[in-house]
Chain A
Amino acid sequence: MALLARGELRSILQTQLPNVLDSRWDTQATDQVEAHGEGQTVLLDFDAVVKAEAIVEVAHFVRDTFGYDFLSNITAVDYLKQGLIELVYQFYNAAEGGPDLRVRVRIGRSPEECIVPSLTPTWPGADLQEREAYDMYGVVFPGHPNLARIYMWDEFKGFPMRKDFPKTGDKYTHVTGE
């Protein structure tokens, strides 16, 4: 049980669980912030980017091996230019404190690709956060016991936090992705 430095998880996964890393971002950890100018969206390659289907395995791995047992935050980010939706999972070590451990999953934006297995069976605290990611970004979590809209009403069409969702127009008349 030890705290990991930022970027350390990637090299550990490369040796111990080589199949879980997403091959599109399996190069050495590089923080490429400097290369981007204003108005550019940035995909940071600093933390481990894992395959969507491996997230449950990785979450158990960091909990059982390093004591990161506290799943604090799940964030979805829409990178429209790159055509990706990124999910950022933040784990903490409840016994030792310290900064968070970030694990990322990058998936496509189409309904066929926008699927990540749910962590709710093991971390019930992920329940509402996954529902929020579904409601706002349209990420589907198979294995979630009650994947329904959480803030918007059930009949609502479209995912309002996506970058291509229309921001103007009357809320009663504009087309919402039907």
Chain B
Amino acid sequence: MLKTEELQINIGPQHPSTHGVFRMLVTVDGETLVDLKPVFGYLHRNHEQLGEVNTYLQNMPFTDRLDYFNSMVNNHAYARTIETLAGVEVPERAQYIRVIMDELSRILNHATAMGFMLGDMGAWQTALLWGMREREKILDMFEYVSGARMMCNYCRFGGVVRDIDDWFITELKKLMQGLPHYFDDFEGLLLNSEILLARARNIGVLPKELALAYSVTGPVLRGSGVAYDIRKAEPYAVYDRFKFKVPVGTVGDVYDRFLVRIAEMRESYKILEQALEQLPDATGGFINPKVKQQSLKAPAGEAYARVESPKGELGFYVVSDGSGSAYRYKVRAPSFINLSALADMCKGYTIADVVVILGSIDIVMGEVDR
């Protein structure tokens, strides 16, 4: 048999399908991938060191820049960590508002992530723009409550910065009326598309045991068939009061991750409905008035709090020395750790598949490089 030479090529750092400045050093034998080495650091700004210099409140807007699609979720995770550390109580209404924002974030994240993945596959623009259309509506809601579309900076220790009002709730209900229609359209357009099936089925398979060993979280883990969702495993905020399912895949391929994300959007919709129904009136307040936001000092000790971000387990580990800023501030970024499985998922597939597999992990470089 003719022996061919292996070739090393770079995908990225400047490549539209790497979703940011990310380089993959791949070794290929013809079209088939033999090895893949991810190269990081192009967006590194030592976020963790900044967290040690900032006071606790100053650091809140910095967390927006981690996963810039889901700044609401980042704020929530960070606020929860400092609340655990300083022993701050959160009023119930604030917990519900946070849940509403988290679930809206999940819908917008999955809608755009799947749109980008399908764009990478060649389903150029339609799927992405449908996702962007829904995202834009949700961003308008975020802008109304926080003043910013993407860098929301919305949570405070012991609550949120501004209450939601009747206008918001009316508009949210209007927005939600259109969502099931969007889910059905999106599914109907793509679910049985032969091209999608050919490009996504049995591609990038990550078996259950390997997924656990690789510490992947979020839709990637659930796509591999592990029903692990922090909202169920270790309920935070008020998630134990809602009825929702944890969708799981069977094979662990790109198609399963796609299905899990669509199912999760539907579950988020259910949570939103229940949260709006149960939302307590404004008498309890939306923020704990006893907390001194600007001069907050946490007693010496440590805390780790995590939330189910749309991309996986987002956790903050903070060590305090009793002063007004963290002694150690560490971010457990879901897409960073999900990337460790990339090489194994890609081996044996073609270069064109690598782009799709990367899209199915759903990374954002602001969080990977920190």
Contact = CB atoms under 8 A, between A and B. Distances in A.
A111 interface: no
B332 interface: yes
Nearest to B41: A151
Given A97-B232, A125-B337, A70 B215 contact: yes
Interface stretch (B66-74, B122-130, B169-177, B297-305): B297-305
A39 B46 CA distance: 23
A33 B301 contact: yes
Interface in B280-334: 297, 299-302, 304, 313, 315, 317, 319-323, 327-328, 330, 332
A72 B313 contact: yes
A42 B46 contact: no
Interface of B: 37, 40-41, 44, 46, 48-49, 53, 212-217, 226, 228, 232-234, 297, 299-302, 304, 313, 315, 317, 319-323, 327-328, 330, 332, 336-337, 339-341, 344, 369-370
Contact of A41 (B46, B232, B327, B369): B327
A124 B338 CA distance: 11
Given A42-B300, A77-B328, A152 B323 contact: no
Nearest to B42: A151
A9 interface: no
Among A90, A122, A151, A152, find the residue whose CB has the most chain B CB atoms closer than 10 A: A151
A37 interface: yes
* Residue of A128, A161, A167 most packed against chain B (CB within 10 A): A128
A38 B40 contact: no
Contacts, number: 112
B322 A36 contact: yes
A69 interface: yes
Interface in A145-161: 146, 150-153, 160-161
B304 A94 contact: no
A35 B212 CA distance: 39
Given A42-B321, A75-B330, A161 B49 contact: yes
A129 interface: yes
A126 interface: yes
Contacts of B319: 41-42, 77
Interface of A: 33, 36-42, 44, 69-73, 75, 77-78, 88, 90, 92, 94, 96-100, 122-129, 136, 146, 150-153, 160-161, 167
Contacts of A128: 40, 336-337, 339-340
A88 B213 contact: no
A1 to B, nearest CB: 14
Given A72-B315, A73-B332, A150-B40, A39 B321 contact: yes
B262 to A, nearest CB: 24
Contacts of B214: 123-125
A108 B53 CA distance: 24
Contact of A125 (B213, B297, B299): B213
Contacts of A78: 328
Given A40-B300, A98-B234, A153 B322 contact: no
- B300, B332, B336: residue with the most chain A Cβ atoms closer than 10 Å: B300
Given A77-B328, A88-B317, 18 more contacts: A37-B322, A38-B321, A39-B322, A40-B322, A44-B301, A70-B215, A70-B228, A72-B315, A92-B233, A98-B233, A124-B214, A125-B213, A126-B215, A150-B40, A150-B41, A151-B40, A151-B46, A161-B46
Contact of A124 (B213, B228, B300, B317): B213
Contacts of A90: 304
A109 to B, nearest CB: 15
Nearest to B301: A33
Contacts of B41: 150-153
Contacts of A38: 297, 300, 321-323
A125 B340 contact: yes
B233 A97 contact: yes
Contacts of A136: 48
